[in-house]
Structure 1
């Protein structure tokens, strides 16, 4: 708690001096986000049926620019209060006093082509962010250590390539997490991610195209067992950006191959992987002053089934909030063994207020595998495949533009047959989740 208060004071001091120092090439900024969240009829297996949690996320960013060179450092402090032994607290909620970013970037040009080279510790948001992202809703973020190159060429051609060691948040044992112990995150060649994207804006009229490939390699280290994932994920995306009075769309698909161990045991059998994911949406933006966009969305992530191949899609380090549902105490619906379909509405009544609401009917892609990220499973398949209907809404209001923003997120999941009848499904009725967020930017 003392560290959080100290960091908050440092953030305020940094904000006060930022204007003067920007003239010298130094830019300092900070954020603090306070969240209260509550859930009734928890959907995930093994946790309290009803729960509340207070999250605090504080960041301090320093950036110095001199000509083509930029030096950046960013400190994150993420912690929680109000938890008990049955509260789902993990490295998704707690990561105290961590330098998530410490890197140098060099920007140059070759003719009309712009090139950026980056090395060190940094965050990443690549392409659609469904495979590699710095999750914003979650209390902690994903960091990566290594090299990144970006190219922007004439004609709307762009490319991103990375070779990184994903930062594995530490500590990750239950007791240390709940105490908020400070420990440097681990990066090493026991987990390596490399690959990238190649894109062309307006390749076919207003339609942009993108191709992607990422390889994740993972192995055991002393005292830590893994599934020894060796995954190749190939993807392609076509999209037309939203515009007032016009239809838009996006289709993205991934195929995943490679190998994975049947369990984390040292002598576990190796299984070939064949998994897939597809996202599609079709929308239309009205010409009203609220910039209302209506759309229909479809997502399908494969699940595992008998037959000697591993079929459960692995989203690697992708975000979930934009497509599916929030993390936090809810964290039940992700990009694994799910079929989801339904409408979305997005609107902005003013420059300070925006609202998003969705309704998604959800099924299991494979009825004998666990549903999404809930841990609920019926190995016999007799509970069926219909999971239920999820209603998700978000309201954001800039109390003070650019400085203070309020956000409410609410989710209601009306359980279908599977979530009621599966042998290990938590008892209780409709799942209700709410979170209240207040973010200050300095």
Structure 2
């Protein structure tokens, strides 16, 4: 680590040190959480608060093409929001300040790590009761937004990642009296800036933008209490892109319809989830302005899991899971068969992201299992395992840009083991988390023509989150 980076890292290092020292306050576990809103004696109609999170990550044996081996990063994320409530109207804003330190030339640094002093949300909305039926509720919000929808596999407000997806537009949620829910939005995705490596490394402050050249919309219908108490969901997402002078795109014009059926975990009971989506339209192989070839896009994904929560101390839950997302079967057939996860999240399903992020919902064929435990209300953890193949051995491991167009390197990526422990040290104020993953490289990562050749990959992280 270059010594000149140390002065820049000291504030974030100090944040981690202070939060870690506070962990000795577990005797206050039953105390009421401290809140900035109360400390300021803010009026009841005004909400004020936020979070600060610091996380150190270390990676050995980087699996990415062209990488040289080991790297690390220290990331910090401050979120600060205010909302004024004047029933039935509300107005609010949220700032995000996401920065990195301690990274070096081998660190895979991008806009998923850095977005310094950004306007994450700025919105106005209204809620109404009994709009279309007795007991229903309609909530409409307009402005710059963050969005969680359904399983969060196709659009999400990111949690583990150091930056958060933003959208400018309108979001409407209608909740009926019989467990029916309809959500729809029409937005322009926010383009995080800067994008060049040097400016990201310096945590430069550049205003994020949106453009009518990229439009993203969805309609999602959910119904609770179907057979056996399960919840059903049907949706369609639309994404339409055109190249812009400052926002290169793959000119995706995609429709993604899907269905989902799931039940909630309960002690002493089985739960399950099945989700499947198709994807049709047009796309291009790259975001280069020189790439003008439109490909027919035909892709899909499937997720399924079956789990049981035991009625026993620590509430152990055993999960059997399977994920498939299509890859491009033939690079020369005029089609793109690689599934695009749009603006979805993946940490809870495929392992830590950050500077790791080995697995994604694209060109993957992966069964796995996980055991979760909860020793107390303020402590939980899990250990998980996955065997990973490419859905198409002629397409890339998308997170690594490793590819064998001839398919001679096989499709087996490797075995991934991961673990995580999370503790609410001062419930409502201070949380700490420790985790990691180990990827045993398989035939594909050893033999592909542009494989890094760094051997197995080991990753760990530790983070503290302060809520105020």
**Pairwise same-fold verdict (TM > 0.5):** yes
Does residue 277 of structure 2 align to residue 254 of structure 1? Answer: yes
Question: In the alignment, which of 193, 196, 208 is matched to residue 219 of structure 2?
Answer: 196
In 1, distance between residues paired with 2:346 and 2:355? 14
Whether the 8 Å CA contact 1:301–1:335 is kept in 2: the answer is yes
Alignment equivalent of 2:311, drawn from 283, 287, 312: 287
What SS class does the counterpart of residue 202 from structure 1 fall into? coil
Q: Does 1:209 align with 2:235?
A: no
Find the partner of 2:204 among 166, 178, 181. Answer: 181
TM-aligned CA distance change 1:246 to 1:24, over 3 Å: closer
CA contact (8 A) 1:78 1:140 kept: yes
Q: Please state whether the residue corresponding to 1:291 is helix, strand or coil.
A: coil
**2:417 pairs with 391, 398, 404, which one?**
391
Looking at structure 2, the residues matched to 222 and 204 of structure 1 have their Cα atoms a distance apart, in angstroms, of 51
C-alpha distance in 2, partners of 1:100/1:223?
Answer: 20
Structure 2 partner of 1:171: 194
d(CA) in 2 for partners of 1:121 and 1:31?
19
Q: Deviations over 1:39-74 (max 9, x none)?
A: 000111233410111111111111111211121211
Aligned length: 434
Instruction: Tell me, in whole angstroms, the C-alpha distance in 2 between the residues paired with 1:196 and 1:357.
Output: 35
Q: How many Å separate the matches in 2 of 1:289 and 1:70?
A: 44
Q: Give the superposition deviation at 1:425.
A: 1.0
The Cα offsets for residues 296-350 of structure 1, whole Å up to 9 and x where unpaired, read as: 0100010012222110000000001011121111022111100111111111101
Match of 2:326 among 291, 296, 302: 302
1:382 CA drift (Å): 1.0
For 1:45 and 1:349, how far apart are their aligned partners in 2? 41
Higher mean C-alpha deviation, range 179-188 or range 217-226? 217-226
Residue of structure 1 in register with 2:73 after alignment: 53
Moved more, 396-405 or 248-257: 396-405
Report Cα offsets for 1:244-275 as digits up to 9, x if no partner. 11111000001000001233334521111000
2:370 paired residue number: 344
Check conservation: 2:298, 2:336, Cα contact below 8 A: yes
SS in 2 for 1:332: coil
| Corresponding residue number in structure 2 for 1:121 | 144
* Aligned 8 A contact 2:285 2:291 in 1: no
Q: Normalising by structure 1, what TM-score?
A: 0.95
| TM-score, L = length of structure 2 | 0.90
Gaps of 5+ in 2: 1-7, 16-33
Secondary structure of the structure 2 residue equivalent to 1:134 = coil
RMSD of aligned Cα (Å): 1.7
Does residue 301 of structure 2 align to residue 277 of structure 1?
A: yes
Tell me the SS of whatever aligns to 1:322.
helix
The Cα shift of 1:225 comes to 3.0
**Larger RCO: Structure 1 or Structure 2 (Cα < 8 Å, ≥ 6 residues apart)?**
2
Q: Deviations over 1:56-110 (max 9, x none)?
A: 1111111111211121211100000111222111000000001101111201012
Mapped to 2, the partners of 1:335 and 1:372 lie a distance apart of: 9
Using a 3 Å threshold, how does the CA distance of structure 1 residues 20 and 96 change in structure 2: closer, same or farther? closer
What is the rounded CA distance, in whole Å, between the counterparts of 2:435 and 2:123 in structure 1?
A: 34
CA distance in 2, matches of 1:402, 1:358: 27
1:53–1:82 CA contact under 8 A, matched in 2: yes
Shift of residue 21, structure 1, vs aligned partner: 4.1
Offset at 1:142?
A: 0.5
User: Is the Cα–Cα contact under 8 Å of residues 152 and 158 in structure 1 kept in the other structure?
Assistant: yes
